[in-house]
A and B are shown apart, each in its own frame.
Chain A
């Protein structure tokens, strides 16, 4: 699905990623853990194509194409989805309207016909149930006046509608109480499939109790310094990140 090789990247002249390697295949769920400032959010932003990050060397190959050559919307059309750590509010823009424009842009890119309004409403109502999102949210402005938990649920709802091949969840668990976490994680689990991949970026092992990863990576100082299965997360919880750094 995606192969990242020796990725070096800077933000405002400061090197954040220092030779990162990662390979994710279809059907896999990866968790990337690490201390603050390790480069976790930088990685997801670079994959999604956000402005302000400069890749100085290395490569990202996605579905056998050079991902770094693609605009953010092309990446979206090709199935890259980012669930934002801090979803923005867009006043006056209807939640469903934004999604429909996104879905139709993707369909157009893939040479498919645009979805009609009635079919789309049926689809979103069905998908809203996955994260127990009240249908009233569909008609509201994007994230405007949503609570922290509602914003995160809205992200996973959008993921459900857009059906990405590669979903990046950037600290989706932060700011969630235990009930909201269960709902959001439940939504993500329902979207796991053998032809898509999920990469979760998180500080805490807590999320992994709900979404079980196939691989856990430790990202520290711009590199992945250890990879293991879900038991690695438990060891991290017990010993802290310094333990990995020391045993490197």
Chain B
């Protein structure tokens, strides 16, 4: 039987199978960031004046801010002047009107990633999902528009939404994550290029799962997408984002902002399968994933759940949060984060209880291997008006090997004496006895590791949308691949 040391070695050799580069002609801005670049982005997208002003305001604010250093991650400071802030596959200035206009190389890219963009491929299969595909800075394809339009659902690239539904975008953009919220959110507000916009009107249950696949391809390019999802009264939507990038020796920056708004009785389920390139086994290259995700449960009885399966990125800095404003609103956070080799992750959530009888649940499962460092950082705040609010937090860490680390930083602030909080935390090592038991019953060591890790994550996988649970499982297997040499 292999020792932990051998498992380590095998884990270190895991393959990143989304690491290829698509050779495609791109329209890419030269590196550098100033007001002209922002005007350039805005002009490329034919944006209205109000949005350009909004971007410039964010940029001027960003110039006064400092990059946060409180997270338990260690990296060389980013030179923001060495990054290109816009890259689009040619010719895509206005976005393609139909798939026939999409470069076949792009379609091939998404096929390789297992994301079919041709609708008939969906119809032939059992999956019923509409996809928006974002390649570097622009959206290249959105499927099932017709069916969604019939239901009254708006699902399109945010640049298109700015053009076609300016009032809706203006009404909600930046209301959950303001321009100056934090360093990376301010940067995103200044330079965001694409992302998805979703609006589910009153009383509508979105007839299919929606998903966006983000792909970084170009060299020295940052990806700054902005996603805005609004569920009006009584609406329901389930949304998934997936992310991949080629293997490159340089670090690449991904600074996204996601804003969710749930009105009375609305429900948003937001699931992420994040598989950005994590860098090689020596920590060279990989994506810096500095993301601000926040939901406001503005309406009574509204509900938002964040589910994330994080296996990628060299550095992750991410705290999907819920602000529970409406009485009886519910926030959930379910997370599985896997870090191997030299990956670093500082991730968790914030649950801000403002309304009465608000309820939040946090389930966080962290798996560390190699020399990876992982931190759970969570804030639960019970405001003055949060009568009878409840929170349940469970953080479990699993360590593979003796060179990795797991850290937990729970913050709790309670201003209402009727609130109830529960916190449970465990840290354990993958157990030689469990491995041997599985092998004695006939499982290979690799299958045994997968089974034990999957069991550890079961609470989270159980809440993933059915269509994506399989994908999450597959991703976990790839991440832990090579468990047998």
Contacts and interface: CB of A to CB of B under 8 A. Distances in A.
Interface of A: 48-51, 71-73, 75-77, 81-82, 84, 87-88, 90-93, 97-99, 101-103, 105-106, 141-142, 158, 162
A102 B451 CA distance: 12
Which of B436, B441, B456 has the largest count of A CB atoms less than 10 A from its CB? Answer: B441
A79 B228 CA distance: 57
Contacts of A76: 439-442
B282 interface: no
Given A90-B455, A92-B454, A92-B458, A51 B3 contact: yes
Contact of B432 (A51, A87, A90, A97): A51
Which of the four size classes fits the interface of chain B? 20 to 34
A73 B449 CA distance: 13
Contact of B457 (A51, A72, A92): A92
A21 B99 CA distance: 74
Given A82-B440, A90-B438, A50 B456 contact: no
A158 B436 CA distance: 15
Contact of B440 (A48, A92, A142): A48
Contact of A102 (B431, B436, B443, B457): B443
A73 B445 contact: yes
B181 interface: no
B440 A72 contact: yes
Nearest to B457: A92
A105 B442 contact: yes
A92 B438 CA distance: 14
B443 A101 contact: yes
A181 B434 CA distance: 25
B104 to A, nearest CB: 38
B456 A91 contact: yes
Contact of B1 (A51, A98, A105): A51
A161 to B, nearest CB: 9
Given A76-B442, A92-B456, 9 more contacts: A71-B439, A72-B436, A87-B437, A90-B451, A91-B455, A91-B456, A101-B447, A142-B437, A162-B442
Given A49-B1, A93-B454, A101-B447, A88 B431 contact: yes
A105 B443 contact: yes
Contacts of A99: 441
B46 interface: no
B469 interface: no
Given A50-B1, A72-B436, A88-B434, A162 B441 contact: yes
A105 B1 CA distance: 17
Contacts, number: 83
Given A51-B1, A88-B433, A98 B441 contact: yes
Contacts of B457: 92
Nearest to A101: B443
Interface string B138-157: 00000000000000000000
Contacts of A93: 451-452, 454-455, 458
A103 B441 CA distance: 8
A207 B454 CA distance: 38
B57 interface: no
Interface in B252-292: none
Interface string B324-358: 00000000000000000000000000000000000
Contact of B444 (A51, A73, A82, A158): A73
A90 B443 contact: no
12 contacts: A51-B1, A76-B439, A82-B440, A90-B451, A91-B455, A92-B454, A93-B451, A102-B441, A103-B442, A142-B437, A158-B441, A162-B442
B47 interface: no
Contact of A73 (B431, B432, B442, B452): B442
Contact of B443 (A49, A73, A91): A73
B463 to A, nearest CB: 13
B437 A90 contact: yes
Interface in B398-423: none
A75 B444 CA distance: 11
Contact of A88 (B437, B445, B458): B437
A88 to B, nearest CB: 5
B459 interface: yes
Contact of B437 (A84, A92, A103): A84
Contacts of B439: 49, 71-73, 76
Nearest to A72: B439
Which of A77, A88, A90 has the largest count of B CB atoms less than 10 A from its CB? Answer: A90
Contacts of A50: 1, 436
B476 to A, nearest CB: 13
A51 B431 CA distance: 13
A103 B445 CA distance: 15
Contact of B442 (A84, A101, A142): A101
A235 to B, nearest CB: 34
Interface in B125-147: none
B452 A90 contact: yes
Which of B443, B444, B456 has the largest count of A CB atoms less than 10 A from its CB? Answer: B443
A232 to B, nearest CB: 30
Contacts of B445: 73
A100 B441 CA distance: 10
Contacts of B437: 84, 87-88, 90, 142
A225 to B, nearest CB: 29
Nearest to A106: B442
B451 A98 contact: yes
Contacts of A106: 442
A98 B440 contact: no
A158 B439 CA distance: 13
A46 to B, nearest CB: 12
Contacts of A98: 438, 441, 443, 451
Contacts of B447: 101, 105
Contacts of B452: 90, 93
B21 to A, nearest CB: 37
Contacts of B443: 73, 98, 101-102, 105
